[in-house]
Amino acid sequence: MTARPKWWRDAQNWAPWRMLVEFARRTTVDLVIVSMPLSAEKRVLAMLTQLWVLPVDIRLSAHMSTLKFTSKAYSYVGDLAVLDMADRPISDWNLVFKWVFDKVVAITALILLSPIMIAAAIAIKLESPGPVFFRQNRHGFNNELIKIFKFRSMRTDMTDESASKLVTKDDPRVTRVGKFIRRTSIDELPQLFNVLKGELSIVGPRPHALQAKAANQLYYEAVEGYFARHRVKPGMTGWAQINGWRGETDTIDKIMQRVNHDLYYIEHWSILLDMYIVVMTPLSLVSKNENAY
């Protein structure tokens, strides 16, 4: 990654940007209108870089621009002509379609996979003392904190709630049962309850542990625009996972590949894409599991 010029770094650290992003995360903001001349190219670019990580529509007011475009180039908020800079990835009826898809798939999966989940719970309890389930804080939609459910795969006295140390091959913290359920992603099945609660989607960017690192850097420090992946609900499976980017992320390149795949999914989302990812997930668990420990 190349170093940014000083004007860029100063703009990113400018307090009003940070305050606006924080305000938009804490309130139900749907639309942000920026009144700034197009001639202020650097400030417009810096503004977009800060705001595009939010799940909101972003419009640039055209009333300060001396450039005149055709009427088709503008949209309108009331009588105000604006230029469309960014849109929410999923909105209106698409939100309803995705909600129905999530609930139907989650209920169906719980019914079909309940024997596997029961067997996994019994195996975990028989091998080592401690709870069957493990709960961990993750970032959800719009950076909200959620607690996801997993089957416990580590020894109770070695559980790493913050995931400050990634699980590696032959990790001594992982039990024998844990090794199997992690490799097959059975440990993720309790997240179907998170889907029913509305905290996760079936398909979306995987929610990462808050302290997860790549090359000793927190994910959001290692990848510019990392939080843009939280413009939609996180998912149990995703575009990155079926393309082989699951499991250990010990290098910057691996986490960048995962984030790039997540952003591709967000920009190209459709119900058909979700269906395709669901169908391909079991196949990818068999063919692309070399990094899952």
Half-sphere exposure of 40 (CA within 13 A, CB side): 15
pTM value?
0.80
The number of beta carbons lying within 10 Å of the beta carbon of residue 106 is 21
Q: How far apart are the first and last CA of the chain?
A: 29
Per-residue burial over 152-167, b if 16 or more Cβ lie within 10 Å, else e, is bbbbeeeeeeebeebb
CA distance 195 to 187: 15
String of b and e for 188-217 (b: at least 16 CB within 10 Å)?
A: bbbbbebbeeebbbbbbbbbbbbebbbeee
Helix (H, G, I), strand (E, B) or coil at 102: helix
Residue 233, token pair as written in the block: 């609900």
Q: Can you tell me the distance from the alpha carbon of 246 to that of 289, in angstroms, rounded to the nearest whole number?
A: 8
DSSP secondary structure letter of residue 223: S
Rounded to whole angstroms, the Cα distance separating 163 from 211 reads: 6
Query: How would you write the pLDDT of the chain (293 residues) with one tens digit per residue?
Result: 445 555 445 555 555 667 777 777 777 778 888 777 666 677 777 777 778 788 888 888 776 555 565 556 677 777 777 777 778 888 889 999 999 999 999 999 999 999 999 999 999 999 888 899 989 899 899 888 999 999 998 887 766 666 666 666 767 788 888 889 888 889 999 999 999 999 999 999 999 888 887 878 888 888 888 888 999 999 999 999 999 877 667 788 888 989 999 999 999 999 999 999 999 999 888 776 555 54
8 A C-beta contact, residue 249 and residue 166: yes
Helical H segments across the chain, by residue range:
6-12, 15-26, 41-51, 93-127, 176-183, 191-196, 219-222, 239-242, 252-267, 271-287
* 136 phi and psi angles, rounded to 5 deg: -145, 140
What are the structure tokens assigned to 122, written together?
A: 């019994």
